[in-house]
Structure formats: structure tokens, C-alpha cells
Structure 1
Amino acid sequence: MFNKPALVLLLLCAFSLSGYGQQSGQIVGNYDPHAAFSPLFYTQNGNEYRSANGYPGPRYWQNRVDYTISSNLDEANNKVTGSVTITYKNNSPDKLPYLWLQLDQNLFAPESRGNALIAAGSRYGARGEKLEGGYKIEGLSVSQKAKPVKFTSLIEDTRMQIRLDQPMAAGGDIVTIKMNFSFIIPINGSDRMGHLTTKNGEIFSIAQWFPRMCVYDDVLGWNTLPYWGAGEFYCEFGDIDFNVTAPASHIVMGSGELLNPQEVFTVEQLSRWNAAKSSDKIVTVRSEAEVNDPKSRPAKDKLTWKFKIKNARDAAWGSSKAFVLDAVRINLPSGKKSLAVAVHPVESNGKDGYGRAAEYIKASIEHYSSKWFEYPYPMAVNVASNVGGMEYPGIVFCGWNAKGESAWGVIDHEFGHTWFPMIVGNNERKYGWMDEGFNTFINGLSSAAFNNGEYKADAEDMHEIGRNLQNPAIEYIMLSPDAMRERNIGVNLYSKPGWGLDILRNEILGADRFDYAFRNYIEQWAFKHPTPHDFFRSMENGAGEDLSWFWRGWFMENWKMDQAINSVTETKAGSAVNGYNIVVANLEQMPMPIILGIKTKSGKTDIVKVPVDVWMRNKVWTVHYPTTEEVISVVLDPNHVLPDINDSNNTWKK
């Protein structure tokens, strides 16, 4: 007679005995398969705005903002004045009774909230200089279809709220906001903008310079986190037309396309500029010898430089009479061209410094365009200044004294940010790792490819890194930058997510599956706003792999990894040895694939890889290695590519 309860009881007893037999006598650790591989990772289903596959949904929307800006650089007083016209389109399904704008320069006002939070010695804020910055806003107006709109306004630190008498309608309503603004340029503006004194003149690196709209999205509504320095930016996309009036002795370079080169260059410089657009060799538009030659600039008092950048989230510019200017053509996969432009003081010139900057820009952008997604801007400008390294659409600022590999590294890193977050527009204020970490990862591939590996980095020892990451003071990746100890930002926003993607690509998915999924993530979210879960989902769907265990342990938590060899024993068929059973234990919270280096008496070495799946319901796993030869040593992860924190239990020798 069939007795179902009795059968269930029998099976449970068998499973319990089997599990005990597998683990009996083995090392006991902290690993819990059910915690690592819990199916309850995603707390929300996909919807019409954000699909379950990690891509924008059929009704995904985002608002749009276009800017028209006229500005003036007052060199004598280190001051920028300007006027901005903001055209804001509400594509959301919501009525908007108020609008929020970002006023980032207010971080540098004497009584700013950020200044009160920033510790002495920080790279952020204004680094101890007497603060006299912040916006002066005048002439604020709001209109709709050329008719004035009633409103009131409030400025709270680095944000402005415009309270409309009548809400903006959903689904395409447009308002126009106008205002005049001015601010004193800090010397060191949170290491993102400022000005530098050189022997031939001041270099101005101007960013976060005009009032910008906050993002309104389907995740949080208005994103109004203040600007406190560590957290970077989250901006809407649109077209930005801007002009900069500066002393005629200056050269100005900005985001996008220079619209009037014939008005701002000498005849000779214009000829060189145009020649560079069709040259794969660097053309010097203004040489070191010409910097102090008055004839190298038009004989006028002031000049207005005009720029336009399309479908961008921001714009920035640099200006100086001290600039050497080099340029060279960038060749893009579609056949389109862009222009690499390097401006720097004579102190930074030379082949050991920024004399190779245009070459570095060209190589970096051509690599990323071919590998991931085509560069979208007409120019790529590097400004050598007192900003250690900062990125904006079409332009970056890099430390003026970088040399050799450091110069390559900072230029490649800052232009890598074109892809994250300038193209893939994630929220840097909340998830800094989604741009810094992704960029750190692609930088490794770019450096390996540059000039036959001229600056290729040595392989890192992930065992040592794994041990260092276990310091509880390091915190973890999934913190907003402003909530993280400043000393941990380098690890948690840059290095650890970069290492994680290296492991995912090289040891878990393989390059083909990873690159395919990653490329599709970039393409699907180009000029849009993904969240961390959109990234996680798109990688899983594109690669066909449940990676929740990896996201949970590496990104959401700071789990340790420790695998150990418990035993190595011969197996026989009759009296003949036909292989070895290698028993591996997972002792800590983080599962990873098993990688075994096996050496036989004849000197033969084998690498055996076992997928992470074996840890779904096991704490100990037996790997059978078939051989008739005598095995003399077994090593876990012999090349140190996984973050195993304990080497002492990784090796067995006969």
C-alpha cells in the first residue's frame, strides 16, 4: 500500500543523513546557501515604465530641458555673469504645481549647509579659502506661450523652488524660465571647477555655472538632494546653446561644437583648426612659442565664443590666455568624425605631459566608441587645470601637473565618463558607483588596448584586495556618496564595483556574454535614467543568468569569500587509481566559482573550473579530477582572481 506521509518522512530522513554525511568531519563556516541564493532579491515587478528585462518600458518617459545662455568672464574679479533661458517640458503623466532647480554654486556661499558639513582637509567645498561665492539671482520670470505666469520662488541652499499659480499640465506642457545670475569663481570648487595661476595667465575651469533643472522621474518624483561636494550630478537631457565673452587674449573651449571659429581665431589658427579636422596626426593650433606673442590672438578687446551641444545633460568651459592648443581628428565607427582638442599651459606641455593629450583623447574615445557605444559630440576637449580630474559632456578638466601614465590615466578616466554618466544618465547623487565604478572597469580594458599595452596595468592580487575589503570601517558600495566616509569613496565608488565587473566578466559570465549584455544596457539606456535594479535586471536578461547572489553579496552587502580545500583522496577502479576527489568547503557568506590548479607528478598542470551553482544547496562540494597520474598538489584560485580572504587553507600538497 502507498503511504504518502511515510514516504515523505523517509525522504526527509535520507536527505538529512546525506547532508550530514557530506559535511561530517568538515570545517564549519558562516556560509548559508539559502541566504546567498534567496529568490526574493527584486522587491518590485517590471511595469510599463521600466520593464522586467531591465530596459525602458513601453511607456517610459522623462522630462526635457533646453538652455540658452549668454555669459561673461570678468578675469580681473574672477567672476562670471550671465543670463539663462530655460525651456522645460513636462513629459510626465503628472501635473507639476512646482518646479525645482539646482543652484550648485551656493555650496560656496559663506553660510551654505554643505560648508557646515565638510570637514577640514576635505577635497570638497572650497578647501579652506574664504568663501565669498554663491549665486546672485535677479530678474526671475516664468512664461508660457510668451505670456507671463504667476509664481513665487524660494531658494533653500543649493536648490530653488518655483511655485506656480497654476500647475504645469501632464503630457507635454512647456514653460520658459528666465533669470540673470552671477557668482565669484572659487579657487578650488570641490575639486570640480576653479581657477589656477600659471606664469602666463590664469586658467579658468568653469562648471556648475548656470542654474539647472532638477530631474523629475518615475522613481522619486523630484530629485532634490543638495549639492554637498561628494555626490555629483543628476541632470535632464536637452540642447544647450551658450556663449562666453572673454578677453580677446583668451582661448575658450567648451562643450559641444565651436560655432564661430572664424570669429575667434587668427587666420593662421583657423587654417590649422580646419586642418586638424581631417588629420590623424596632431596639429598644433597655437604653439608654446606663440603663447606670449600678441599676434597669436585677434587684436580686439573682447571676443564672444559660441557653442552648442545637443541631447546633453550639462555643459562646461575653460578659458585662458596661457593655453597651448593641439587638435586631431577622431574617427568613429559610423564614419562620422569628432575633434580631439587639448589646451594646457606651457608648464604642462611636452611629450612627458600634456603634449600627448590629444593623442590620448583620440585613442580613448575611438576605443570606447568601437567597444561600447559611439561618441556623440562634435568635440572632445581636455583642459589642464588645478582640477585633479572632472568630467562634463564633451569636455574634461585634468590636473595640470600629471605626467606619463598618470596623464593617460586621468584623461582616459575622465573621457570614459562620457559613457557613464553622460550617455547613460544615472543618478550620481545617490549611486556614485554606477558611473565611477563602471568607468573604472572600462578604463582597464582601454588601458590594456592603448598603444600595444604601453600603460597596461599589472594584474591585481584579489586575495590581498579581498582581505583589505573586510575592514568594517570601509563600509559598502550601496551608500550615497555624501553618506560615505570620504576616505572610503575611492574604494566603494571606484575600485570595488570595478573589481566586481572584472570578476563578473572574466570568471563568472565570460567576456562574450558580459560584453553583449553590457553593450545592450548602454544602448537601451543611452540618454535616459537607469537605476541600480535596471542595471542588475538588464545584465541578467542579456547574459541569461541569475546573478542575484552576486549583486547581494558584492554590491548590497560586504560579504567575505573564503574557500578551503578540506581533503584530496584517490579514487580507484579495482586496484588502479582513476582519479582524485577534491573536497572544497565554502566557509564565508560570499559564494564564488571554484577554480582549482592541479599539478601531477609529471609536471602537468590543469585549471579546473566549477560554476558557482554548486553552492546553491551545499556548503561543501567534491570535485572529481579523472587521471591515472599521481597528483602532487592542488591550489584553490592559483592566479588570485577571486577575493579569497584566507590563503592558508587554499593549498594541498602530497
Structure 2
Amino acid sequence: MNLKYLYTLIVGLFVFQTATAQRKGYWQQTVDYKMNIDVNEKTYQYDGNMQLKYSNNSGQSLKKVYFHLYFNAFQPGSMMDNRLANIADPDKRMTTNLGTKDKPKYQSRIATLTAKQIGYQKIKSLTMNGNNTNFKVDGTILEVTLPNEIEDGETAIFEMNWEAQVPEQIRRSGRNSKEGVALSMAQWYPKMAHFDEFGWHLDEYIGREFIAPFGDFDITININKNYILGASGVLQNPTEVKGYVGKPRIKAKDNKVQWHYVAKNIHDFVWAADPKFVVDSAKSNQGVHVYTVYIPESDSVKTNWKTALGLATEFFDFNSKTFGAYPWPNYTIIQGGDGGMEYGTATLVTGGRNLKSLVGVIFHEAAHSWYQHLFGINETVDEWFDEGFTSYVEELAMQNLFEKRGAIEANPSIEAYRAYYKLALSGKEEPASLLADYYNTNYAYSNEAYNKGQVLAVQLGYIIGKDNLDKTFLEFYKQWKFKHPTPNDFKRIAENISGINLKWYFNLFINTTRKIDYAIKTVTDKEIILQNKSDFAMPIDLLVTYEDGTKELFYIPLREMRGEKPSENFKIYEGIKRTTLEDWNWTQPSYEINLTKKPAKVIIDPSLRLADIESNDNIWEKK
């Protein structure tokens, strides 16, 4: 067979598989970027040239397209600046405290930036299929009126020239981080906005996260020959640059070298650069090539990064088995930014951490390779789906790989539960379905996204059974990799696998701030009466220990489930008989259980997966 034809056939099949999904009528746009940038490391400015292939698969023609210009947020008077000045608890990384520790008075760091410190992306020219477009900048959004419509099924070619200035490092991206990294280049290029069944996603950049279409990236970076880079994708010319081979044949022109990267089927590209960087690498048992790029400022830092590299390779093997195979050839962990942030096949993390903190942030950001980068979750809308599920993945990996605890007990995320309880009782909780930018406090956002989202996943296992939860994760991977699923897509898979209706659970836990609160009301030698003190009904696992030392697990399904979870093989249930009782209706505030033997101890949910905000009345013991 002709090799060119075979390659075309394989690529065609790949595109078909990644553009279709179980949900009937699903479609997604695709983008392919080819960029060449020239960096002036002295002025922190660069010139960029982009060729962008944009494929319209939406079923409608497009009169306009939009790009994100994220660097424009780092200017006095921007919406990000406004938000920092007015939110009750601004991000301390992005502010200066002009008051005292006891009486803080925070000022936005953006507000004091000078003309040489601000960030910007200025579009010099933009054409579509060789014809000029009309465009205007509105904050961090570039609105482009097209010379003619992009019809359904058509691919348009955009050519763009722009110039940019890298801002002082304030949020994720920037120059001269607190740890001394020269360039942390996230959100550095004009990025095509996402268009899907919900329309254009045109969120102003005020500090939260992102959504973008999948595509291929071919990036060439021209920079001073003394710099070493880490980036998304696969480096195409390692023998011509510093850091990746013993004695590279550096090809410098005007004191600059080219770093050429290619990445396939990702939706964001990051890079960082510093003359002090060193590069290390290792390969996982399943063949994922993991790189670390960091500043070796001390022996302890070098030791921590070396240990973290080994654990990172184990992470990709563990996660591939548990949540679906990692599909890209490599992953790069780069020191930079202001904390930790995920990008396609790479992450920026701060590096001056103790070992546990370093491994934890690497595990979290690498886990985003699934929940956000393999499944293109809309973080601006479903932040809990992205951060919460990622935190669940991180916690499992930390307990299995770092803490070496082996088999995980019923609830691996008990700390997230405690944080959620604190939020739920604080008076600051808002519905987790709220758009990420719109929370009244950063406290509420963080706990909704990272902790309540994690609780949702673990508690889902309580409802449908841990084995069904594990099967749901793998089936979700099978159906939705390289696509943009919604939480409803995950819910439907969980329903199909478990046979349990979950509409009530996702609706109440995500769209409201209702709380779960059950109690053991009374216990006699002949009966137990349970009470639902809240307006959130749940199924109940009730463990009864009798006076003769035997135990029985009563399982009470919720009628709304229209099904039952199977028995679970946790250690706490070994050798215990499970008795399934009649459904508990959500309209019924109490439930009676008749006994044939005298009880000595009664516990609601010994697995601790039921997110009950008041657990003191969940245990009864005969005195």
C-alpha cells in the first residue's frame, strides 16, 4: 500500500474518532497553530507571526470570530485590576498589603504597573484567506469581523502579526518571578476563543481559568542563545540548543537560537525560559518521557526535584491504569509562574518547596492532563468538574505513591470533606454551578471547586458503589477523550453503568447550597428511627452491632435512585451480612427499622463518604 495513502487514512480515522462522541449531534471546532516568535529578553518584548487553520464544524456559518488577548489584563484599569480592588479577599499573590497583618489593606499590584511593566498584545495585521479583516480590541477580547462567512465544513486560514510585552509576573504568566525565573510564558499568544453548542465563550480574563478548542501546535521560539527552555510538546531540535544533550551543536544567528516544538491535539501551549535552568528526564514503565526544567539553587532543591521526577513517572503509570492511558509521548514539569497551573503536556509550578509540597503540586497539575486537557472541560463554567475531580485523582496518587499506604480505605478524601463542611457552615457558600468568575469570595470559589467537587466524586461512589465509580471513570475516558464533555455526560455514563438515576444528586449538590444532615433519632431493643433533618435526601448505609457481637449492614435506597448499589468490598464490611430495606422517600422525614436482636451500637455510614454536616448524631451506643 502507498505509504502516503496509509498515513492519510490513519490520520483521517484519528480525526473521525476524536470528533465524534456518544452524545448524538456532538461537534467541535478544531484549530492548528503555526507560530514563529522573536524574543528580546532585555525589553521583555517579542514579535509574533501566526498562521492559524480554523475548521468550522458547527452546522452554521460564522460571520465573526474572537481571540483572547490575555496579557491585556495586566494593565491598570483592567477588569482583573478592578476585581482585585473590590473583592473581599483578593489573591495575596496579586496584591500588596499597605496595612498591617491584623488590619490588612490590599492594593492591586496591577494598579502600580508602569508602561514598561504592563502586559499587552497588539495586533498589527490579521487576514483570512488572504483578505483583510476588520478587528477591534475590547479588554482581553479581540473581535474579528470576517471579509466573508466561514461556512459549515469549511477551513479558514488566518495570518496574524502581533507584538507583545511580557508583564511583571503577577498571575500565572510574566517575567521575573519571585523565584527568579526570567520568563513564564503562559497565555502568551492570541488564542482563538471557544465556540460550541452554547455559543462563543468570551470571558474577560480576571484571574480564573480557561476553555479552548483542540488542535496541533508548531512553535518556533527565537531567543538568546544562553537561555534554556521548557515547553509543551516535543522538542524537534535538541542537538541545537542548550540543556538537552551533552554537547549540542548550537546554531546561533544574531546571538539567538531557535527552539522548535510540535504538539498534537492539545488546547493550550506554555513555555518558560531562564539561563539558570537545568534539564533532567526519566521514562515511565509505560513509555511516557517526563522532563523536569528547574533552577538548582541548592542541594536540597536538586534532591527534591530528582525524587519528584521518579515519582512523576510512577504517577503517569498509576493514573493511566486507573483513569485511562496518557495519550501523549511526553510531559514537562517547569519551574515558573506563581503556584501551579496546567497546560497541554506541561505545567508551570513554583519549585522552592519541601518534597511533599513539590510532589503534591506536580501530581495535581499532571492530573489535569486528564481532567481539563484530555477532557476539554470548560473551567469557566464547571470549575468543580475540573478542579474537584483533579483533586480526587491527586489524592489517590499521593496516598498510593508518596505515602505508600497501599489499599485506600472507603474515603480517600476526608480532608476535602472537612473543608467542605467548614464552607457549608460558614454562610459564604454559593452554588457550585455559579460561573467561576462570579463568586463573591476567593474562599468560596476555592472550596467549591477543589473540595466540594472532590466530595461530589467520592460521594457518587457512596451512591452507586466504588466499583461502579471506577468503571465510570474508565468509560468516560473511552467515550470523551479529546472532546469537550459536560458534567451531564459524566452523569449519564454513571447512570448507564450503575442503573441508578442521579438527576436529584447532581442537581441538588451542584445547583443549590442545600446540605445533608441525618440523625439517629431513637433506638430501642426492637427498632431504630432515623431522621432526615435537612432538605437533601440520600440513601443510607446503617451498620448495627448487636449485643451478641454480630453485625448487620442495613442498606436503605432512596426511591429517586430507581435502583440499588451493589455490595462493596471494604474492610469495614468484611464478613457482614447486608440487608436491603424498602426505599426511603425524600418526602418522608423519618424512617423506621425493625430489629430481631438487641442493638449495642448503630452507625450511619461507617465509610464516612456521606457528606453529613453534623456527624455527632450519626452514632448511637448503648450505655
For the residues of structure 2 that align with 1:494 and 1:184, how far apart are their CA atoms? 33
Alpha-carbon displacement from aligned partner over 1:233-286 (angstroms, at most 9, x marks no partner): 1101111000112222221121111111111147xx526xxxxxxxxxxxxxxx
Task: Call closer, same or farther: CA 1:216–1:462 in 2, change over 3 Å.
Answer: closer
Change (3 A) 1:604 1:551: same
Partner of 2:381: 430
Query: Within 2, Cα distance between the matches of 1:113 and 1:463?
Result: 33
1:560 positional shift: 1.5
Tell me the equivalent position of 2:326.
375
Match of 1:165 among 147, 156, 170: 147
- Aligned equivalent of 1:196: 177
| Equivalent residues in 2 for 1:455-470, closer than 5 Å | 459-460=414-415, 462=417, 465-466=420-421, 468-470=423-425
Match 1:245 to one of 202, 214, 222 = 222
| 1:270 pairs with 2:245 | yes
The structure number with the bigger radius of gyration is: 1
CA root-mean-square deviation:
2.7
Q: Partners in 1 of 2:219 and 2:187 — Cα distance?
A: 14
**Residue 615 (1) aligns with residue 584 (2):** yes
CA distance in 1, matches of 2:136, 2:245: 46
C-alpha displacement of 1:186: 2.3
1:259 aligned partner:
236
Q: Aligned equivalents of 2:184 and 2:231: distance in 1?
A: 10
Where does 1:131-530 land on structure 2 (aligned, <5 Å)? 131=113, 132-144=117-129, 148-170=130-152, 172-196=153-177, 202-218=181-197, 220-230=198-208, 232-265=209-242, 270=245, 298=250, 300=252, 301-332=255-286, 337-347=287-297, 350=300, 353-451=304-402, 453=404, 459-460=414-415, 462=417, 465-466=420-421, 468-484=423-439, 485-505=441-461, 507-530=462-485
**Structure 1 residues 653 and 328: alpha-carbon distance in aligned structure 2, compared to 1, 3 A threshold:** closer
Could you tell me whether the CA contact under 8 Å between 1:348 and 1:354 is conserved in 2?
Answer: no
Classify the secondary structure of the residue corresponding to 1:558.
coil
Q: Which runs of 5+ in 1 are unaligned?
A: 1-53, 272-294, 571-579
- Rounded to whole Å, the distance in 1 between the matches of 2:173 and 2:119 is 15
1:315-361 C-alpha deviation (Å, 9 max, x unpaired): 111111111221001233xxxx2310011111265366323232132
Judged with a 3 Å threshold, the aligned counterparts in structure 2 of structure 1 residues 163 and 194 are, in CA distance, closer, same or farther, namely same
Match of 2:580 in 1: none
| Partner AA of 1:346 in structure 2 | P
In structure 1, give the amino acid aligned to 2:60: D
SS of match in other structure, 1:80: strand
- Tell me, in whole angstroms, the C-alpha distance in 1 between the residues paired with 2:502 and 2:310: 39
Q: Equivalents in 2 of 1:594, 1:89: separation in Å?
A: 50
Question: Residue 264 of structure 1 contacts residue 305 of structure 1 at CA under 8 Å; is this kept in 2?
Answer: yes
Per-residue CA deviations over 1:474-497 (Å, capped at 9, x if unaligned) read: 223111111012121221011101
Q: 1:176 to 1:124 in 2, by over 3 A?
A: farther
How far did 1:164 drift? 1.6
Q: Structure 2: which 5+ runs fail to align? A: 1-19, 96-107, 560-582
**Paired residue secondary structure (2:428):** helix
Q: CA deviation at 1:221?
A: 1.7
1:649 maps to which residue? Answer: 617
Q: Is the CA contact 1:135–1:183 (under 8 Å) kept in the aligned structure 2?
A: yes
Q: Which amino acid aligns with 1:651?
A: I
- Check conservation: 2:124, 2:160, Cα contact below 8 A: yes
Q: Which amino acid aligns with 1:549?
A: W
Aligned residues: 552
SS in 2 for 1:76: coil
Contact 1:461 1:640 in 2 (8 A): no
Q: Single out whichever of 581-590 and 616-625 deviates more from structure 2.
A: 616-625
Amino acid in the other structure paired with 1:599: T
Q: How much has 1:296 moved relative to structure 2? A: 8.8
> Contact 2:33/2:217 (CA < 8 Å) preserved in 1?
yes
TM-score computed with the length of structure 1 as normaliser:
0.79
Give the 3 Å change call, closer, same or farther, for CA 66–296 of structure 1 in structure 2.
closer
Structure-2 residue corresponding to 1:31? none
Report the alpha carbon displacement of residue 119 of structure 1 after superposing the two structures with TM: 2.9
**Structure-2 change in CA distance of 1:602 and 1:479 (3 Å):** same
Structure 1 pair 123–99 and aligned structure 2 pair: CA distance change class (3 A): farther
Per-residue CA deviation, residues 517-573 of structure 1 (Å, 9 max, x unaligned), is 222223222111222323322322232210122112211111122212222233xxx
Q: For 2:605, which of 626, 634, 637 is the aligned residue?
A: 637
- 1: distance between equivalents of 2:343 and 2:322? 21
Which residue of the other structure, out of 458, 482, 495, is the alignment partner of 1:540? 495
Contact 2:528 2:593 in 1 (8 A): yes
C-alpha contact (below 8 Å) 2:127/2:159 kept by paired residues: yes
What secondary structure, in the 3-state scheme, does the structure 1 residue paired with 2:245 have? Answer: helix
The 1:319/1:442 distance shift into structure 2, 3 A limit, reads same
- 1:289 alignment partner in structure 2: none
**Pair 1:317–1:463, CA change in 2 (3 A):** closer
CA contact (8 A) 2:124 2:163 kept: no
- Quote the residue 2:11 is aligned against: none
1:544/1:530 CA distance change after superposition, 3 Å: same
| CA distance in 2 between partners of 1:134 and 1:203 (Å) | 15
Asked if 1 retains the 8 angstrom alpha-carbon contact of 2:230 and 2:273, the reply is yes
Deviation at 1:463, TM superposition (A): 7.0
Query: How far is the alpha carbon of 1:57 from its aligned partner?
Result: 3.2
The DSSP-based 3-state class of the residue aligned with 1:472 is coil
Q: 1:122 aligns with which of 91, 98, 102?
A: 91
With over 3 angstroms needed to count, the CA separation of the structure-2 counterparts of 1:60 and 1:202, relative to structure 1, is: closer
Cα separation, 1, equivalents of 2:298 and 2:437: 33
Amino acid at match of 1:260: N
2:524 corresponds in structure 1 to 569
Aligned to 2:565: none
Instruction: Give SS of 1:423's match.
Output: coil
Instruction: Mark the CA change 1:416 to 1:645 in structure 2 (over 3 Å): closer, same or farther.
Output: same
Q: Which amino acid aligns with 1:76?
A: K
CA distance in 1, matches of 2:118, 2:443: 26
| Contact 1:123/1:191 (8 A) holds in 2 | no
Tell me, in whole angstroms, the C-alpha distance in 2 between the residues paired with 1:496 and 1:466: 9
| Among 69, 74, 79, the residue aligned to 2:45 | 79
Q: Check if 1:587 corresponds to 2:533.
A: yes
Task: Rate the CA distance shift 1:618–1:349 in 2: closer, same or farther, 3 A.
Answer: farther
Counterpart of 2:604, as a letter, is L
How far off is 1:176 after superposition? 1.7
| 1:417-470: CA deviation from partner (whole Å, max 9, x where unpaired) | 011111101211222112111101111222222156269878449478436423
Note if contact 1:55-1:538 (Cα within 8 Å) is conserved in structure 2: no
Contact preservation (8 Å) 1:73, 1:79: yes
Query: How big is the shift at 1:183?
Result: 2.4
Flag the 1:346–1:479 CA change in 2: closer, same or farther, 3 A. Answer: same
Instruction: Check conservation: 2:283, 2:289, Cα contact below 8 A.
Output: yes
Structure 1 residue 605, shift from structure 2 partner: 4.7
For 1:238, give the aligned amino acid.
G
Q: Aligned-pair distance for 1:395?
A: 0.8
The question of whether the paired residues in 2 share the 8 Å contact of 1:245 and 1:304 is answered with yes
Q: What percentage of aligned pairs have identical amino acids?
A: 27
Using CA pairs below 8 Å that are at least 6 residues apart, which structure has the higher relative contact order?
1
User: Aligned equivalents of 1:78 and 1:444: distance in 2?
Assistant: 38
